[in-house]
Amino acid sequence: MEDENKLSIYRAARTIKRRENTLYNALRSINDDSIFVGEISQLWPDLPLLANLRCGLWYFPKFHSTCYFKSTDGHTNNWSFNTSRLNLHVAHLAGQKGGCIIVDSTRKGKRFPDSMSKTIPIWTCVFNRAIANHRSRMQDRDKLMEGVNSDNHESETCDQHAENTSQASREWDTSLHMPLWVSKTEKASIEERLEGWTKELEASGADIASLASCLKKPLRPLWISQKTVIWLNEVPDHDSWDFTPIILVSASSSTGVIQHRTTSEFSWNYIPGAGDDEESWARGLSPDLFWNNAYDIINSGPDVCNQKVANMVEKDRVYRAQRGQNAPQVTLKPHKSLNSTSDPSYVEPILSLDNLDIKNDIQFCDDDSTVYWLGTTNIAVGTALAAANTTCVGCILNCGQDSISACHLNSETYLHLPIVNSKFDRLSLRNNLASAVNFAKLNLRKGKTFLVSCQNGEDISVCVCLAILTALFDDGGTFDDGKSFSETHITKLEMRRRLVFLCKFAVKARPSRGNLKQVYSFLSGGRGSSHTPSAPDTM
């Protein structure tokens, strides 16, 4: 009897949760929170607005750019400074514009996600320390260039270096700034690791010199939530601060109580951090498609929201397919209707495509067609749409699932390797890298420009580019036909350095850990040979 009661309580809790986490509740909550984000952005209109992927991307119609700071890097006793996610473009953008605003959100019970409470504060501090060290070295060099020489020159130089380091630290804030709710014990534990993380950043090959010249004042995080009190007549100009502000906006209300909200037409339950874990609730809807049609979706009401979104998602899919863009079929498992839980046989009606009329009654979304050139390497990375539309490259390596039509290319200059993510096949990338590298070698030898594409241009194509850069280029980014690779023992540090170089140009790069492991397995497997790895079975 007790087990039955527990089971009944569990089922009741799940039913209540399903009632709360409906699609309409999520989208309406996001829409309400976006008003707060807009108000904050207007306080500092000159500062660029960035979305922290992926949750933050839901909370405003238009962002200047995106960034990728993971909450897991800030989890207690699991703090990390990850050189695979340096977000160099954020620091450069903050230096150019005098600061930036980053938007993210979190579920109920917390005011800020760990990405804002700890990951970004660690990031700003490590960058500040690396810049301070660079400034100190420049001061030493400038004094030496002035011809300071004496009999005890060596001892004076050591004394000068220590003095310059201390002076640079005083002039350039290198302290760790964290919010008050992070305990002193946790902060102290993080501070113990800062020096090691700074050395990792300096060893990663990141261009600290360009950051030092771009940033006129040290980076410093500020935290703003819906509970923050701001006197509108006393908002300071961002230029008045003695630091470069990284303003961290947590979009959602942090109340732990279910908020039932109503208007003259509809009622709904507010969900804090509704944009999180979009696979579990968005039903194929993307942030861009939502904001292009937000008015219609919100005003459709909770009863028809699911059906309206299903129609929009399918129409957008057909629109993309007609233009040769990525258009995967969205498959949804039908759920029991929350309005008819008493009838177990009732299920939500499934969208019928037979009567679907593809008309321009919604605002469609186009894929990103940006091509990112990797310095002077003649290699570029981009989306499948970019590959399909571009005519300015000599050859294309398509790593997406669908083939593309490139009329100006032939079998020697176009190769299709349908690689899937490591979540679906943990060896798919590795098994195709030999063919990818050999194809790149043949075309780069002829001096051709080379584009690597995948569905989103952020993961698989980036990892393929990383393998090509490591296998065929020296550490200065010059094509050497694999000479340096054959003479070098590839370490994880060396691979990270190449990844940092790549991410400097491809600012949207987000290579997954599983795919990076496959790249390293491929590259380290070719160790000791006189040529680049050519077959998976030799690794």
Number of domains in the chain: 3
Same domain, 300 and 206: no
Rounded distance, CA 300 to CA 282, Å? 16
Same domain, 179 and 307: no
274 belongs to a structural domain: no
Task: Write the pLDDT tens digit of every residue in 458-478.
Answer: 999 999 999 999 999 998 889
Least confident of 238-242, 262-266, 455-459, 510-514: 262-266
343 belongs to a structural domain: no
Contact 477, 375 (CB under 8 A): yes
Least confident of 179-183, 254-258, 262-266, 507-511: 254-258
4 belongs to a structural domain: no
Same domain, 108 and 178: yes
Domain boundary among 339, 366, 393: 366
Residue 153 contacts by C-beta under 8 Å, 6 or more apart in sequence?
Answer: none
Dihedral in degrees, nearest 10, Cα atoms 443, 444, 449, 453: 70
Task: Write the pLDDT tens digit of every residue in 38-69.
Answer: 999 999 999 999 999 989 999 999 999 999 99
Rounded distance, CA 200 to CA 70, Å? 18
Domain boundary among 250, 272, 306: 250
Considering the chain, what percentage of its residues have pLDDT values greater than 70? Answer: 79
Domain CATH for 432:
3.90.190.10
Contact 249, 40 (CB under 8 A): yes
Residue 112 contacts by C-beta under 8 Å, 6 or more apart in sequence?
Answer: 104, 106, 179, 223, 225, 248, 250
Same domain, 73 and 187: yes
Where in the sequence is the domain holding 474, given as residue range(s)?
371-525
DSSP 538: G
Rounded distance, CA 219 to CA 408, Å? 47
Domain boundary among 366, 394, 421: 366
Rounded distance, CA 530 to CA 469, Å? 17
Asked whether residue 194 carries a pLDDT value surpassing 60, the answer given is yes
Task: Work out the pLDDT band at 108, boundaries 50, 70, 90.
Answer: confident
Same domain, 309 and 405: no
Quote the pLDDT of residue 349: 40
Same domain, 473 and 406: yes
94 belongs to a structural domain: yes
Rounded distance, CA 81 to CA 91, Å? 15
Element containing residue 449 per DSSP (H, E): none
**What is the torsional sign of CA 528, 534, 536, 537?**
negative
* Predicted TM-score (pTM) of this structure: 0.81
β strands within 379-494, DSSP E: 379-383, 395-398, 414-416, 450-454
For the record, the structure tokens of 304 come out as 């028809």
348 belongs to a structural domain: no
Looking at residue 306, its amino acid is N
The 10 Å Cβ neighbour count of residue 508 is 21
Same domain, 418 and 306: no
Same domain, 208 and 313: no
Task: Work out the pLDDT band at 18, boundaries 50, 70, 90.
Answer: low
Same domain, 403 and 479: yes
Rounded alpha-carbon distances, angstroms, from residue 248 to 178, 325, 347, 470: 12, 34, 42, 36
422 belongs to a structural domain: yes
- Treating both helix axes as pointing N-terminal to C-terminal, what angle do 153-171 and 120-145 enclose, rounded to 10 degrees? 140
Same domain, 242 and 190: yes
Secondary structure, 3-state, 265-284: CCEEEECCCCCCCHHHCCCC
Considering the chain, what percentage of its residues have pLDDT values greater than 90? Answer: 58
Task: Write the pLDDT tens digit of every residue in 403-415.
Answer: 887 666 788 899 9
Which DSSP string do the residues of 175-205 spell out, in sequence order? Answer: S----TTS-HHHHHHHHHHHHHHHHHHHHTT
427 belongs to a structural domain: yes
Asked whether residue 33 carries a pLDDT value surpassing 80, the answer given is yes
Q: Which one of 10-19, 186-195, 391-400 scores highest in mean pLDDT?
A: 186-195
* Average pLDDT score over residue span 492-504: 91
Burial class of residue 354 (count of CB atoms within 10 Å of its CB; 0-12, 13-18, 19+): exposed
- Mean pLDDT for the chain? 83
268 belongs to a structural domain: no
Task: Write the pLDDT tens digit of every residue in 302-349.
Answer: 999 999 999 999 998 888 777 666 666 666 555 444 444 334 333 344
Contact 443, 372 (CB under 8 A): no
Nearest to 120 by CA among 46, 50, 196, 44: 50
Same domain, 449 and 506: yes
Asked whether residue 257 carries a pLDDT value surpassing 60, the answer given is no
Quote the pLDDT of residue 139: 85
Same domain, 121 and 34: yes
Least confident of 75-79, 259-263, 359-363, 506-510: 359-363
